[in-house]
Structure 1
Amino acid sequence: GKTWIDQIVRRVGAEKASEMRRHAPRRQLGLHTVFLMMREAQIIDGMIDLLVETIHKIGVRSKRKVVAGIARDIEKVYGKERLLVDIAGAAIEAPGGRVCDVIFPVAGKEKLAAIVKEHRAKGTLERRIYQVMRGSYAGHYRRILPKLLSVLEFRSNNAVPRPVLGALDWIRRAFESGCRVVPRNGVPIEGVIPPKWRGAIIGKHGRINRISYELCVLSQLRDRIRAKEIWVVGADRYRNPDDDLPKDFESRRAAYY
């Protein structure tokens, strides 16, 4: 198990250099090897924690900002059902009348405008949140992505998350290009972009907005990592989940299930 490894790591971390030199050279080499191996895994875990928490933070803060803006800008219109009945009644009584003469006396232009504004805001909530997320990512967090992806190696043991891994490979290759909008050909789409995000990522002519695409892929990556569908080479807490299976799992699969 890991108990003896943790003990060695704590021991090496607590010993001074002078104390470490008292050990035989081969013992020093072994102790340092175990210590550095675990430190590397801890550093990788820390980078994954940072990635996962940052993506989550972008989403939470963006939603909070959008909802607060809606609360400030939109007057809540109560009694819309009753208002609809009044409008319908007025229209039936004077079907040939003008809106300003028939509808406005019942509902009022300002109240109708408030209803329209409220409806449009509700209908575009997800899109507005995504736009704020995109601005936050593009203006600040995006600069760390190339370095992060250059040192982290993501893998998966099943086919479902493979499109996300393919999207990460595409992003790595596209870093050298300065284009913010690219043709759709060769860009992984299926299994990567959820339907609700496609309108914000894929333009009218089928071209891909790179920044929006990157943000989408990172969000998908976060979900897959948390579900342990994607793991990271060299990590400890985010290691290959198959490493946690019993050694005889394949031969006794039915018994374990």
Structure 2
Amino acid sequence: MWKPLFQRIPPRVIQQYRRRAASEPPRELRRHPAPLRHVLLAALCWQRLTEVTDDLVELLISVAHHIGTRAESKVEAELLRQLRRVQGKTALLFKLAKAARAQPEGAVREVIYPVVPETVLDDLIREMEAEGNYDREVRLVTRNSYGHHYRRAISLLLGVLTFRCNNDRHQPIMRALDLLTKYRDRRTLTFPLTEDVPLGGVVKDDWQALVLDDAEKRKINRVTYEMCVLTTLRDKIRCKEVWIEGARQGNRKVGRVG
């Protein structure tokens, strides 16, 4: 392999080799002595491999981000379609409080409805109930979108990228990636009860209810868990807590491979 060949060579020198190899036609490359020809081609292949790896990493991060933002937009559009937004909720609350304070013994129909109509209160109740379910709806749409449209592509990306981590504190996400690799070709909807599925450091608190697939909270839903792994992996790559083998140095943590 050409990796040891370039281990101590400055990147700018490798870049020069690569540019020379890319600019020369094949017949000119063949005329070079074998050692020079091999170095030029190795530099070209090495940098192209790094560039392709970088592109795959960026694709992984952008897909993970796109799934979440698309789910938010879809849920918001549906809420706006179903609801009529109540304007001036703070002013309505002030009117309600003032009317109730002025006539504490009065009936609701006689005291409240003249100030804030019943239909407005109904709209306000529906809006607040919908907003309370907003986060859960976003998570459901995110999971469904991943399972129906992105799961196969993400599986392929995870299969060709090699992830590394130098910190023991972040090993749960590494074990989760190993688990996804282990079950990649299996069609089970949940992980076996005997499987050690890392949750801490992988699944965020607001996703726990969707990940735990039964009332006893023992079965782990695979699709939801994979979505959580993808989200956590994206965050750790962006924070340089996990790096990808073969990516450019800016995406990596230098040190012992974990």
TM-score by length of 1: 0.83
Match of 2:74 in 1: 65
C-alpha separation between the residues in 1 aligned to 2:16 and 2:210?
A: 51
Answer yes or no: is 1:233 the counterpart of 2:248. no
Q: Please tell me the root mean square deviation across aligned C-alpha atoms, in Å.
A: 2.4
Are residues 90 and 168 of structure 1, via their aligned partners in 2, closer, same or farther at CA, if it must alter by over 3 Å?
A: farther
Instruction: Give aligned-pair identity as a percent.
Output: 34
Answer yes or no: is 1:51 the counterpart of 2:51. no
C-alpha separation between the residues in 1 aligned to 2:203 and 2:63?
A: 20
Answer yes or no: is 1:205 the counterpart of 2:211. no
Contact 1:55/1:222 (CA < 8 Å) preserved in 2? yes
CA positional deviation for 1:160: 2.5
CA positional deviation for 1:89: 5.3
Match of 2:47 among 38, 43, 56: 38
Contact 2:92/2:116 (CA < 8 Å) preserved in 1? no
- Higher alpha-carbon deviation: 31-40 or 83-92: 83-92
Please tell me the residue identity of whatever aligns with 1:69.
Answer: E
Match of 1:222 in 2: 234
TM-score by length of 2: 0.83
Match of 2:126 in 1: 117
CA positional deviation for 1:192: 0.7
C-alpha separation between the residues in 2 aligned to 1:13 and 1:76?
A: 60
C-alpha separation between the residues in 2 aligned to 1:170 and 1:117?
A: 42
Match of 2:201 in 1: 191
C-alpha separation between the residues in 1 aligned to 2:19 and 2:45?
A: 12
C-alpha separation between the residues in 2 aligned to 1:170 and 1:91?
A: 64
Contact 1:45/1:237 (CA < 8 Å) preserved in 2? no
Match of 2:138 among 124, 129, 133: 129
C-alpha separation between the residues in 2 aligned to 1:105 and 1:205?
A: 49
Are residues 161 and 47 of structure 1, via their aligned partners in 2, closer, same or farther at CA, if it must alter by over 3 Å?
A: same
SS of the residue corresponding to residue 193 of structure 1 reads coil
How many corresponding residue pairs?
A: 240
CA positional deviation for 1:240: 3.1
Contact 1:90/1:103 (CA < 8 Å) preserved in 2? no
- Stretches of structure 2 lacking an aligned partner (at least 5 in a row): 1-9
- Higher alpha-carbon deviation: 165-174 or 75-84: 75-84
C-alpha separation between the residues in 2 aligned to 1:164 and 1:111?
A: 48
SS of the residue corresponding to residue 234 of structure 1 reads coil
